[in-house]
Amino acid sequence: MATDLSARLSAHENKGLYRKRLTLEGPQATDVTIDGKRYLAFCSNDYLGLANHSALIEAACHGARTYGVGSGASHLITGHSTAHHALEHALAQFVGLPQALLFSTGYMANMAVITALVGRGDAVFADKLNHASLNDAIVLSRATFTRYPHLELARLERCLADTKASRKLVATDAVFSMDGDIAPVAELLALCERYDAWLLLDDAHGFGVLGKQGQGILHAVDGFDLQSPRLIYMATLGKAAGVFGAFVAAQPEVIAALIQFAHSYGYTTATPPLLAHTLLTSLSLIEREVWRREILTAHRLRLSRGLQSCRWPLLPSATPIQPLRVGRSEEAVRLSAALREQGILVPAIRPPTVPKGEARLRISLSAAHSKEDVDRLIEALHAVAGNV
């Protein structure tokens, strides 16, 4: 067994797919220290630059003094605090849906929604480029699993029309994490209305970033019906919100079903209430500080202009996720290493995270980056283009 596992690991490494962890020696920021060396980092999901914000640090300290460190139990025993309750209410109001429910991670939230709402004999339809958590949840649910080509709604409609299942769910990323493109949510909801299906939107990378006040994908599309009973909205709180956790917002019946039937909600210890307390401050900053999103837009345009003549093309994306398509995994790894030699961290993304032949550098922009930071990355990419 051990020999087989070693051979598998060696083969994985020979394909340029072996991953190694970097250990930060300090807080998440645009400038980080690893093994005593400083790097300019373009690899964080801290899109608004809140992860090390002084107001959130103070809120966390106040939350610890008020609620202690651990929650001590699951939400269904005695782990649900007034901090959790207040945050759920605030999140529901913020995204414009009736109720919200907190989870430890987006992975657990997606697992909860899909396994609690569908099962054997039901049907789930998922975009080909969805996050792994959605795919894993669908497999675990035992529902019939159909993947439609990326953003091909005509194919999705044919699948919805052909299915005999009585319960149907369409699951999609709102912002696709490796491409940075955005799902056509209004059209998807129209299809779900027409064919009597739920629509699960995973807005992990849109919450806090999209919409004038950062309310996410639901407020970034004109004419979107926020009150549809078919809409189930999931967003994470460890990316743009800068802290930790996730939530699902939906109709009261959906939230009640998750509380009653979702294993990843009922059978795990609640997140520390100090984090929920901290997230109330984060939510206020997201709503008030519109300038953070304006800086992200400026950085994105600056990067796009600066890399127009670059050897590797940027994929079209109106989000902080800016993928630089390289192609071969080995070349993407070498390019990432060459940038690291210049003190810049940009991760190489390889299969199975992206399709074979679609390896890339995933540039993640933050409001905490300066114009000079973006220019430094542009110059470095042009400099290494002839040597990789």
| Known binding residues for pyridoxal 5'-phosphate | 106-107, 177, 205, 236
DSSP string covering 77-117, please? TT---HHHHHHHHHHHHHHT-SEEEEES-HHHHHHHHHHHH
Q: Which residues contact 7 (CB under 8 A, 6 or more apart)?
A: none
Two structure tokens written together for 258:
């998750």
Residues in the annotated binding site: 19, 106-107, 131, 177, 205, 236, 353
Two structure tokens written together for 299:
């950085």
Q: Are strands 359-364 and 348-349 parallel, antiparallel or unpaired?
A: antiparallel
Rounded CA-CA distance 271/248 in Å is 15
Query: Residue 74: exposed, middle, or buried by beta-carbon count in 10 A (0-12, 13-18, 19+)?
Result: middle
| Number of Cβ within a 10 Å radius of residue 100 | 21
Q: Which residues contact 376 (CB under 8 A, 6 or more apart)?
A: 40, 344
Rounded CA-CA distance 309/138 in Å is 42
Residues in the annotated binding site for substrate: 19, 131, 353
